[in-house]
Amino acid sequence: MSEPRVFLLPDLGEGLTEAELVAWHVAVGDEIAVDQPIAEVETAKSAVEVPSPYAGIVTELHGQPGETLDVGKPLISVTPLSTGVAADDAAPAPSPAHPVVEPNETELAEAKPADAVAETYREEEKAGSGNVLIGYGTPGGHSQARRTRARKSSVTVAERTGSTAPELSKEDDLTLLRTRVPGKLGAVISPLVRRMAREHGVDLGDISGSGDSGLIMRRDVEAALRTTAPAQVPEAKPAETRPLESEAAAASQEAQAANGVDARTGLPIAARTPVRGVRKAVAANMARSRSEIPEATVWVDVDATALMELRGGLKANGAEVPGLLAFIARFVTAGLKKYPELNTRIETAEDRSQEIVAFDGVNLGIAAQTDRGLVVPSVRAAEKLTARELDAEIRRLTDVARQGKATPTELGSGTFTLNNYGVFGVDGSAAIINHPEVAILGVGRIIDKPWVVNGELAVRKVTELTLTFDHRVCDGGTAAGFLRFVADAIENPTSLLADI
């Protein structure tokens, strides 16, 4: 029977180092095909369905839903199906003079036609469709292929089932020495077991391993948790003496008992929520923006009555009418053409010298609130699109973002961000710049306000525009000029919308 192939979690975009396993689409024992979706994972960018590069029978799933997996760690093990008599004829048993070499899992090696086993493996790799995720792919005709079977090693590693560890470099040996079981030279604790012990406060030095050479397994940590759990959670009173209370109140008390009491406030802790996925990415990016960018904010109230009347007239004629955000996006791209300083990025070299990088084009980011958090997909080459085309692309991007299906390219290629926080019923906000961009324009709600028109008081449709900008790339005069340009376009929209 063929040895299982272990598929490692690939880099799903822009150097991400981890992903949360949301759900499995397959189970142990299932027969799967090449490029069949096997799992859904959530990264800091989006939710992604991961396809399998192998066909065969699922022998092991390396992770549980809700678990965070590191890129490059095992995701699934698949045993290839038997290729039948033809395959046996094509791949005779190796002779002692031509032993089969098991390549390292990160090794890139050219297939040798003289080696029947290597040739068979290359042909199997060619069977893929060519669909590629960053970090792996089905070769589809390249002379080099990523090998996934590991060389044998004398080091015993926890939680490996039927496969051996890859050869270790000197640096790897030093790392493993730090994770060996005290007093047991040959026993190495797996990262999964170490993480479980760390998260639950279990001292591995107090545990006797049940694996080979005293290796500490997952079951040993779980057993230690079971022995300490009764001391952490107070025993419930007998049912007949417990006072009457709602199930919700009982659950709340149990949660508070499990989470403990906050030392600073003295209040029971109701819940602990890990910061991960999109929330983790947003937090890191916003913290970096505030720590690196000397920002300033300017704002202005705008009479949007003319724009509202223009849309109303188009609707009355039965035409397909873009949304208000699409019109404003059209004005923004025109404004950035006149004030290109706000469509740049600052790059810092290793010697701390800095450059302002300007772009020939605008990738307009649209801030979108989703169930997973705030994401900013971008309309590529937005300056080339009409208001109707912008409207269609904005709707498409916000839809895929809310479904968690936006690609890393769509989420990470913006040069300027437009944020419509008016949908939340607020007038203004000093937004944080979406690093590494240098400016963000916010649009508040449009409401009726008293406004002076030709010396007389009137009720007009008024909104507030807020521009936050990086003071390193321009001064207030440039920022105010851009903001005034967009405001004037909203108040007199026909001058810029001849091509809608």
Domain range list for the chain: 5-146, 156-232, 279-495
**The pLDDT value given to residue 302:** 97
Residue 386 above 90 pLDDT? Answer: yes
pTM for this prediction: 0.54
Residue 406 above 80 pLDDT? Answer: yes
Mean pLDDT of 355-370: 94
pLDDT bucket at 9, cuts 50 / 70 / 90: confident
**The pLDDT value given to residue 184:** 43
Residue 140 above 50 pLDDT? Answer: no
**The pLDDT value given to residue 315:** 86
Distances (CA, A) of 76 to 28, 111, 177: 10, 25, 27
**The pLDDT value given to residue 314:** 87
Instruction: Count other Cβ atoms within 10 Å, centred on residue 499.
Output: 10
Q: Which residue numbers are catalytic?
A: 471
Cα gap 220→208, rounded to integer Å: 8
pLDDT bucket at 45, cuts 50 / 70 / 90: low
SS3 annotation, the chain: CCCCEEEECCCCCCCCCEEEEEEECCCCCCEECCCCEEEEEECCCCEEEEECCCCEEEEEECCCCCCEEECCCEEEEEECCCCHHHHHHHCCCCCCCCCCCCCCCCCEEECCCCCHHHHHHHHHHHCCCCCEECCEECCCCCCEEECCCCCCCCCEECCCCCCCCCCCCHHHHHHHHCCECCCCCCEECCHHHHHHHHHCCCCHHHCCCCCHHHCCCHHHHHHHHHHHHHHHCCCCCCCCCCCCCCHHHHHHHHHHHHHCECCCCCCECCCCCCCCHHHHHHHHHHHHHHHHCCEEEEEEEEECHHHHHHHHHHHHCCCCCCCHHHHHHHHHHHHHHHCHHHCEEEEECCCCCEEEEECCCCCEEECEEECCEEECCEECCHHHCCHHHHHHHHHHHHHHHHCCCCCHHHHHCCCEEEEEHHHHCCCCCCCCCCCCCCEEEEECCCEEEEEEECCEEEEEEEEEEEEEEECCCCCHHHHHHHHHHHHHHHHCHHHCCCCC
Instruction: Name residues whose C-beta falls within 8 Å of residue 244's C-beta, 6 or more positions apart in sequence.
Output: none
Cα gap 408→132, rounded to integer Å: 14
Residue range 318-335, pLDDT digits in tens: 778 999 999 999 999 999
Mean pLDDT of 111-132: 43
Residue 438 above 90 pLDDT? Answer: yes
Comparing 167 with 28, which gets the higher pLDDT?
28
Average pLDDT of the chain to the nearest whole number: 76
Cα gap 301→398, rounded to integer Å: 27
Mean pLDDT of 198-206: 76
Cα gap 151→154, rounded to integer Å: 10
Comparing 257 with 357, which gets the higher pLDDT?
357
Among 487, 496, 497, 484, which Cα is nearest to 462's? Answer: 487
Comparing 188 with 351, which gets the higher pLDDT?
351
pLDDT bucket at 159, cuts 50 / 70 / 90: very low
Query: Is the CB of residue 13 less than 8 Å from the CB of residue 47?
Result: no
Q: Domain 5-146 carries which CATH code?
A: 2.40.50.100
Comparing 313 with 416, which gets the higher pLDDT?
416
Poorest-confidence range of 7-11, 53-57, 94-98?
94-98
Mean pLDDT of 188-212: 72
Distances (CA, A) of 275 to 90, 198, 241, 281, 283: 53, 17, 40, 9, 9
Residue range 74-111, pLDDT digits in tens: 999 999 986 443 434 444 444 444 444 444 333 333 43
Residue 166 above 50 pLDDT? Answer: no
**The pLDDT value given to residue 251:** 61
Please provide the distance, in angstroms rounded to a whole number, between the alpha carbons at the two ends of the chain.
65
Mean pLDDT of 115-133: 43
pLDDT bucket at 490, cuts 50 / 70 / 90: very high
Poorest-confidence range of 54-63, 207-216, 468-477?
207-216
The per-residue b/e assignment along 288-320, b for 16 or more CB within 10 angstroms, e otherwise, is ebeeebebeeebebbbbbebbebbeeeeeeeee
Fold observed for domain 279-495: Chloramphenicol Acetyltransferase (3.30.559)
Cα gap 56→38, rounded to integer Å: 12
Mean pLDDT of 118-144: 41
**The pLDDT value given to residue 204:** 75
Residue 149 above 90 pLDDT? Answer: no
Residue recorded with tokens 């949908």: 423
Residue range 251-295, pLDDT digits in tens: 666 555 566 888 899 999 998 888 877 778 778 888 889 889 999
pLDDT bucket at 228, cuts 50 / 70 / 90: low
Which pair of structure tokens corresponds to residue 437? 């961009």
Poorest-confidence range of 17-26, 52-61, 418-427?
17-26
Phi, psi of 49 (to 5 degrees): -90, 125
Residue 167 above 80 pLDDT? Answer: no
Residue 495 CB-density burial (10 A; 0-12 exposed, 13-18 middle, 19+ buried): exposed
Query: Is the CB of residue 6 less than 8 Å from the CB of residue 163?
Result: yes
